[in-house]
Amino acid sequence: FEGAVNMARDMYNAIYSPLMKLAQSDIRAGQKKTVIAEENSKFRESEIEKSKSFDITSTEPITALESSKFDSEPLLLPTNQPLPQSQQIGSKFSGFLEQLPKYLGRFSTEYQLPIICFATIIAATVAVKLVLAVLDVLNEIPQLNLVFELTGIGYVTWFVFRYLLKASTRQELATHIISMQKEIIEG
């Protein structure tokens, strides 16, 4: 998140640059001269070079810069002055963004099982919806619809003749169901 802090510092330096005072003046209003004296242009160029030479990666506290010849406000606030509200909000937000990975990591370790259960439920729901959508599409094909119906009727007929007609085969089915229940319960 150092990039966001550097960008904010660059924006602040650009906005409170002495050149911004010149941008506010209207050069078309006949009251001001349109030709800038050579001395003032050299001074502006030196100010631009100074502003480019600032080390924006420095972690040292930023101190107030001297006022320019244009009697403008200092470029940066002194370190003992409170920050404006927008900068306070920005610093709180950047602090929150710095702590966000720690919060998410702690949350995921504390609630790992519920997160896995929730993700499994969502994945199962999506899978069921996907299967139903595919079956609906296949069901719309005229020949496959008839094949599915005949397959279902054939399986039901086989199941009835295999397990439900005789008492011995019903008993075999009941023991098979009980053994499957035990496997599921015992895990």
> 160: which 2 tokens?
């009835």
Distance CA 6, CA 97 (A): 15
Q: Tens digits of per-residue pLDDT, 72-131?
A: 544 555 555 566 777 878 888 888 888 888 888 888 888 889 889 999 999 999 999 999
Helix (H) or strand (E) holding 46: helix 38-52
Task: Look at residue 94 in the predicted model and tell me its pLDDT.
Answer: 85
Residue 141 CB neighbour total at 10 angstroms: 11
Residue 178 scores a pLDDT above 90: yes
Distance CA 174, CA 168 (A): 10
Residue 152 scores a pLDDT above 90: yes
Q: Are 136 and 128 in contact (CB under 8 A)?
A: no
Average pLDDT over residues 127-156: 89
Of 87, 81, 96, 92, the C-alpha closest to 9 is 87
Q: Tens digits of per-residue pLDDT, 30-79?
A: 544 444 445 556 666 666 666 555 555 555 444 444 444 444 544 555 55
Residue 26 scores a pLDDT above 90: no
> 12: which 2 tokens?
């602040």
Task: Look at residue 32 in the predicted model and tell me its pLDDT.
Answer: 46
Residue 153 scores a pLDDT above 70: yes
